[in-house]
Amino acid sequence: MDQNGELGDFLRSRRARLRPEDAGVALDAAVTPVPADRRILAALGPKMLRLARDRSAGAHPAMGTPEYIEQARGVLGDGPLLARVVTVVLESEPARAREIARGYLGLYFQLPNCAASFKRLGFTDGDFTGGGSDRLVDALVAWGADAAISTRPAEFHTAGADHLALQIITGEGSETPPRTEWCRLADLTGGTQDEAPRTEPARDLPMSDDDHFPPGQGKAEG
């Protein structure tokens, strides 16, 4: 089956979960259904964003830039929640920071849906070679001096994000939450160390149109 056919099947399966009148056992038909205004979808592309707008409280995309958030907000409109993951490397040396980032991003560059999303932002096939161009890596991962990292979340809020989930990658491959790094990031972004971030290892889930987190990384909701 070609890529468009697979995407069509995927979208139909998602709609089936949300629209019991169409097909299958849907969320709305569950024994204890979650109301549409209490659920959000891991939506990335424009079709999934429209589905999130129409059949849920909003969208939780990943692997995007502030420009992507602006586009997504345009699709969702003013009402729905738009919650974005911001990936951070606490490293100011360019070569090392990009090395860590590329180790994390490599999987996403192989996913057709992510590649299509990046191309809609103006990136080309050449940006996916060699582990990702500096331009693409720098757009997707916050790294650098403290000032550069501390101001990055504001760029996403200004673009239209309501909520951000900050994710630290260290390149160490540990399942233990990097608490020292979280405390530093809290200082940089105006958080407090009295309230430790809620961290959890990303689950080893199948990566489909909008499943975002490879195993071995932690995230915190903030």
Mean pLDDT (the chain) is 80
* Burial of 198 (C-beta count, 10 Å sphere; 0-12/13-18/19+): exposed
> In the prediction, which pLDDT does 184 show?
93
* Burial of 199 (C-beta count, 10 Å sphere; 0-12/13-18/19+): middle
Strands 163-168 and 218-221 come out as antiparallel
CA 61 – CA 48 distance, rounded (Å): 10
Mean pLDDT lowest among 21-35, 106-120, 147-161, 177-191: 21-35
Residue 24 has pLDDT above 70, yes or no: no
Give residue-wise pLDDT tens across range 134-169.
999 999 999 999 999 999 999 999 999 999 999 999
Question: pLDDT-based confidence at 36, cuts 50/70/90?
Answer: confident
> In the prediction, which pLDDT does 62 show?
80
CA 112 – CA 143 distance, rounded (Å): 26
Give residue-wise pLDDT tens across range 187-213.
998 864 444 444 343 333 333 344 333
- The structure's pTM equals 0.74
**43-221 under CATH 2.115.10.20, yes or no:** no
Task: Tell me the average pLDDT across 26-41.
Answer: 80
Q: What percent of the chain has pLDDT over 70?
A: 73
Sign of CA dihedral 56, 75, 143, 173: positive
> In the prediction, which pLDDT does 103 show?
93
Task: Tell me the average pLDDT across 24-30.
Answer: 58
Cβ atoms of residues 94 and 135 within 8 Å:
no
Q: Where are the domains of the chain?
A: 1-34, 43-221
